[in-house]
Structure 1
Amino acid sequence: MPFDRPALVAAAHESIRRGSKSFAAASRLFDRTTRERVWLLYAWCRACDDIADEQDHGGASSPGGLDPESRLATIRTLTELAMAGEATGTPAFDALGVVMRETPVTPAMVDDVLAGFALDAADWRPRTEADMLRYCYHVAGAVGVMMAAVMGVPAEDEDTLDRACDLGLAFQLANIVRDVWEDDANGRCYLPQEWLAEADIPPGEVTKPHYRHALVPLVARACALARDYEASARVGAAQLAFRQRWAVLSAAGIYGGIAREVERLGIHAWDHRVSVSRPDKLRLVAQALGEARRSPIPAPKPAPSRRELAAMAH
């Protein structure tokens, strides 16, 4: 049966509007075709997240009685139907089908994202820094690769895809440092166990008030990694069309601003959830416009590489 593309786009727009004000703001800078495809891809990512966490656009959990493996199976089944071009009865998954028909997104790219949901379903926790980066790759770096494909980057342009992955890694590291308290409340911790052990923070006690001072250097360490990945991504953005470059640099500035604010606040970073104000977003978008008109500052690609992170699962 034919898909009602305008209806899927409208539903995807509503999803990004509700789920991520930062991405919604940056997406307005894309040309219409790219913007719609970014919304469609976001809708699929958001729906997978919500099924995995039994949430509605990242809100409070509303348990439906399914165990994590069953929720993962639901995600896989609906995604496989979408990739096969079948109607799923769920707009967000039908949206993925549209994206795959219109862009160079490959099943392998989708599988790398699904591997992140499998890690969460297995209640997996990072032991080492490499483990943390592997997790960041599957839940965000691999999404960055898909976003680059949506913008028309071909599968053979490995360097630009690597840099797009680096932006996703930077985003997820920002999420990790911002959400330490929220993750702990849900029984999760994405900072490496080895880091916590070095700081003498016992397992499960990362948010105890008397460990805040010990936590700050670990957060600074994660923020330093995020800066390196963000700098690499800014180099890759130069390979995109102008409006795409502007949008990507705006998103980099906004998400980078979250990590920088968490680091600046030190022990007070978790007194309230850190966000970027509307005036600051506008300033960062204007700053990105100037940056998009200039040649990027050279920056190396951090290690481990995208291929090395992907291979850790095998």
Structure 2
Amino acid sequence: MILAVALLLGVAVVAGCAPAALHRMLQRRADPQLVLMTWGALVATTFTTVTAALTIVVLPTHGSAPLLVQLLHHCWTALQHGSAPPVHLVAGLLLPTTVGVLSARVSTRFLRHTRHQRREHRRHLELLRVAARQEAGAFPIMWLPHPEPMAYSVAGTPSFVVATDGVRHRLGADAAAVLEHERAHLRGRHHLLVGLAEALSRSAPWIPLMRRSPDLVRTAVELAADRSAAHQHGPGSVRSALLRMTGGRTGPLPSHALGMANSAVALRLHHLNGLRTAPGRTRWALTSGMVGLTAATLPTLAGIALLPVLAMATCFAFGF
């Protein structure tokens, strides 16, 4: 039981400190792909570590009955004798229920988000087929007859990019960087990551890592798309296009779209000013592997580090 509590405390510490650490990584021009990988690993290991703690709770301890069954028995006995169950027994029973409800909420909200996105995608595509000119490609471009430069991407079947004539007419050579930015969103499945982050935030807002996920992921995917465009067309072209499109944005984008001039402009310019050449595949694989492994084991390591402290506190509390 002490090990299970230690793991849960480790998860709580990491989930509380992770958002600030991830934002600091972005402020220091860390590769946004690594930040997204770290975020995903931390979210996954949060649930994995909690599941491991629950497994410890339900496994047999003394005798053949699992600890969870023993907790139920002790609580029922206490209620039969007219006394309230001890706090640690109630906590042991509420934990599995809370995690089960949380998992169900995340799954439900993510599926709801996916259905909503499909409906909006279908409606949007029907309108664009009437009002826009389609340019064929791996990701079709729907050109709208509007003088102001604006572009965004829409994921779905099919995925496509929407851009106004103002992108070509006003941005000139920089238009290619804008279109590549939007294609990078679609290739990287950034819309899916944003949807997952929003589902996590709405399902578990009391967990800092989950609550701050939408803002973090939206910023990181914009930075990642900027890098993809900059590696092909140069940071100067992306910087110029971003500044000009920020001043000429015509209005809010559809809720299911990601647009180039939609968020974190100052931070993105900061990244572009210090952007270097893309790392080699070997270096990228080693770096991403180390970052992923560290993030995946961090909650467990934190729990193990807290185990001696928790064991001593338990001994003092029970007078051992």
TM over 0.5: no
Scaled by the length of structure 1, the TM-score of the pair is 0.30
Q: Which has the higher contact order (CA 8 A, sep 6+)?
A: 2
Question: For the pair shown, which has the larger CA radius of gyration, 1 or 2?
Answer: 2
